[in-house]
Chain A
Amino acid sequence: MNGGNNPGLSDGSSSDDELAIAARADRRAFGLLYRRYLDRVYRYAFSKTADPGMAEELTSTIFLDAFEGLNRYTPRGTFAAWLFTIARRRCADYHRSSPPLPLITEAVPSIVGRPEYEKDRKDSFLRLEKILTGLSQEELDMLRLRYAADLSHAEIGHIIGKSEAATKMAFSRLIRRMRGLWEFDDER
C-alpha cells in the first residue's frame, strides 16, 4: 500500500500497536498489519463458512471494518483480540443464516500430487468433524480462535470475556475431552 512515509516501520520489528497507531495516518502501516493477519483472518472466516468465496467476502469486510475503526482501537497490546472481535461479529452476521458448524473437509483445496496423503488427511478431517459436531458454539469458537486464528489464551480470553487463566483451563478441559473422544473413536 502507498500513502504516508514512515521509514521506521517494518513488518519484522514494529509491534501491532505501533503499526495500529501509525496506520491512523499512514495507510502503509495498515498494509503491514494486513499482511501480518490476512492468513489468520481468512482461515477463521473459512472455518466459519467452509466457502472460499464467502470467506473472502468476510475477510474483506473484516479488514475494511478494522481499517475504518482504527481510531477506536486503544493500543494496549491487544490488537489481535480487537481484530478478531470484529471478525467474530462479522462472521456472526453470516451465521444467522447458515448451519452452526460448516464442515470444511470437502471444501479444502486438494494437495496436488499426494493422493495417499490426501486420503489419510481426509479421513482424519472427517474423524475430527464427528467430534466437532458434538461441541457447543462456544467451544467451536475457542478452537477456531486458537487454531485458525493462532491466538494466545490471553487474546482469546480478551475476546470471550474470560481471564487468561479461566480460558486456559476451559481450553485444556476441552482438548482433554476431545482427546478422549478421538482415542475412543480410534479404538472402534
Chain B
Amino acid sequence: MKDDTENLDSVLIEYFHAASPSDSFTSSLETRLAATHPDSDIALPAQRRLSVRLRFALIGILVALSLTLALLGPERVWAAIQQFWQRYIPGIGLVDETNTRILMEPVVHTEAGVTFEVQQFVATAEETSMLMVIREMPEIEVFAPESVRVISPDGRRIRMYTATFRRIWPACGSVDCQEPEEEPSDYELGYVFDPLPPDVYSAIVTVDLAGLVPGAEWSDRLELEIPLTPLAEAHDSTFDQLIYSPDASMSIGDMNLTVTNVVQAEDRTVLDMTWSMPQWDAFAQAAGVTLVDDQGRRYTPLPRTMDLDENFAVIATESPGSRLYLRNERWVFEALATDTRTLTLEIEGMRPRADAEGSFEFDLPAQPRDGDFVPIDETLNVAGGVLRVASVRFVQGTVEIAPRDATPTSLDDQLLIEVDFDVVEQPPYGTYESIMLEAGWTGPYWMYPDPINTESSGIRVTRLVYDPDRIWSNHVRIHLGDVTVYQEGPWTLSWDVPGR
C-alpha cells in the first residue's frame, strides 16, 4: 500500500499549503494595517455601480406606475424613459447613457503579425470599460494585466479596477461541442478602469508588447488613440434599442425564475434573469429554451461570450431554517421583429447540477472478476433527496477512450465497476438524472472525457475502470461527484412588449 503522499490530490494540497507566514510577520503587518487609514477620498465605483441598480429599482416603480396608467396608454412613455437612461453594448453590457462616451468604430493595429483590436471602449460616470481582442498571439509565457493601460489626454494613468482574460474558442452552436484539438491563438481581454474625467473625449490605450509579440523588447509599447463620442449623440442604428424591465416571474418546482431586464436591439435580444433555489447551491441549466412572439415566431438562445457587467456570484440569503441561493444569468437571442407585441419564454425542463458531496466505502473481493457482487446498503442524502447505494458489481466490458492529441480508441476486456442505486426519495427539484462517480484510483482512462455510463434506477451513472495496479488497499472509497436532477416542464412565462 502506498502512502498518502503518492496521491495527487493530497500532494497538491500539501504542496500549496507547505508554507505559512511567520508569527512575527503576521503581527507586524497587523500593526501596520492598524496604523493605516482607509482612503475615504478615492472614487467609489461600488456606490456608483449601485446607482445604476437604484435606477433599475426606480424603473421598477415606473413599471408599477405604468400599469396603473395602462388605460391611458403610458407604455410608450415608460419605454422611452428607460431608453433615455440605458443602452446595451455587446461585450460591455448595460450602461447608463448620462455622461457616457463610447468608441464608435473598433481601433485596430497589427504588430509583427499580432493584431490588437479595441472593440469597445465605454467611459461612464462610474467606470471605464474596454474590450480588447488580440489575434494570432503566440503562446503567452507571462501576461500581466497591467501590460494594458489607459491614459487620459492629460497624461494621467487611469487606475485599473478589474481585468479578465480568456481565449476565444470557435463559435459553437450546441452545448455538446467538443474543444478543438489546438488551443486558439485569439484572446479577449475585458478591463474595467476608474472613470475618465467627464469632459474628456479621447484616451490612449497602451500595450506593453513584451511577451505578446514575438521578439518584442521590454520597452516596446503600442499606443492606440481612442476617440470617444457621447452616447446620447450616437445616432447609430445599433442604439435603436428597446430596454425594459418586465419583472415577470414563474416557479419551476421549488425554483423561481424572474426576467429582470429585456433589451431588444437591432442585432440581438438580451434577457437578464435571476434564478432562485432554496437549500441547494446548484447551477441551474435550462433545457429547450425558446422565445416565442405573438406571431408564433420562435427564437432559440445563441452561443455567446460574456459581457463585462455580468455577475456570476451566488448570493445566499438566510432566514430561520432555510437558505435561498440566487444566481444571475443572461441569455441572448436573435433580434426580434419590430412589430412584436407579446413575448413568451418557453422552457422544456430544468437541470440543476452540483457536487453531491457524498461517498461510500467498501472492501474489494480478494481477486475481483466479472460477475462479482458486493452488497453495500448505505443511504446518502444527495441534492435534498435520498439515494441508497445498493451494491457494487464487477463487469467485463469495453471502454472508449479519447486521449488528448490522439485518436479515440477502445479497450476491450476491461474490468469495470458499476454501482447500483435505489431511489429512496427523489429530490425536491425533480428526479435524479445522472451521477458522476469519482475515485482516486480509477486509472488513466478517467482523465479523458469518456462518458462511460450505465443505468441504475433510471439514473445515468458513470462506471469506473478497475485497475489493480492502482489500488493500494482492499478498502476503497467512491465519491459521488456531479449530480444532475431533471425537472420536466414545460413552463411558460409571458409579458407584453411596451411600445417604442
In the complex, A178→B163 CA distance in Å?
Answer: 28
Which single member of B15, B142, B160, B448 contacts A176 (CB below 8 Å)? Answer: B448
Closest chain B residue, CB of each to CB of A82: B162
CB pairs A–B below 8 angstroms (18 shown): A34-B33, A43-B17, A43-B20, A56-B25, A64-B33, A72-B161, A89-B145, A89-B160, A92-B143, A120-B5, A125-B18, A137-B142, A154-B314, A161-B190, A173-B449, A179-B444, A180-B444, A186-B6
Q: Mark A82-107, 1 if CB is under 8 A from B, else 0.
A: 00010011001101100010001001
Q: Are A42 and B19 in contact (CB under 8 A)?
A: yes
Given A1-B33, A3-B34, A46-B19: A163 and B315 within 8 A (CB)? no
Which single member of B15, B50, B162 contacts A104 (CB below 8 Å)? Answer: B15
Q: Mark B22-39, 1 if CB is under 8 A from A, else 0.
A: 100110011011101011
Min C-beta distance of B185 to chain A, whole Å: 13
In the complex, A63→B35 CA distance in Å?
Answer: 13
Given A92-B144, A128-B15: A71 and B315 within 8 A (CB)? no
> Which of A30, A71, A144, A148 gathers the greatest number of chain B CB atoms within 10 Å?
A71
Q: Are B311 and A147 in contact (CB under 8 A)?
A: no
A186 proximity list for chain B (CB < 8 A): 6
Q: Are B313 and A77 in contact (CB under 8 A)?
A: yes
Place the interface of chain B in its size category: 35 or more
Q: Are A176 and B311 in contact (CB under 8 A)?
A: no
Q: Are B312 and A154 in contact (CB under 8 A)?
A: yes
Beyond known contacts A137-B143, A161-B165, A183-B443: 7 more, CB 8 A cutoff: A31-B34, A59-B29, A68-B42, A77-B315, A178-B447, A179-B446, A186-B6
In the complex, A143→B16 CA distance in Å?
Answer: 9
Count how many pairs of residues, one from A and one from B, have CB atoms less than 8 Å apart in the complex. 197
Q: Is A14 among interface residues, defined by CB-CB distance under 8 A? A: no
Min C-beta distance of A19 to chain B, whole Å: 13
Min C-beta distance of B12 to chain A, whole Å: 5
Which single member of A47, A68, A127, A182 contacts B39 (CB below 8 Å)? Answer: A68
Q: Are B12 and A128 in contact (CB under 8 A)?
A: yes
Q: Are B45 and A137 in contact (CB under 8 A)?
A: no
Given A30-B33, A180-B444: A128 and B161 within 8 A (CB)? no
B139 proximity list for chain A (CB < 8 A): 136
Q: Are A147 and B447 in contact (CB under 8 A)?
A: no
Q: Are A2 and B3 in contact (CB under 8 A)?
A: no
Q: Is A124 among interface residues, defined by CB-CB distance under 8 A? A: yes
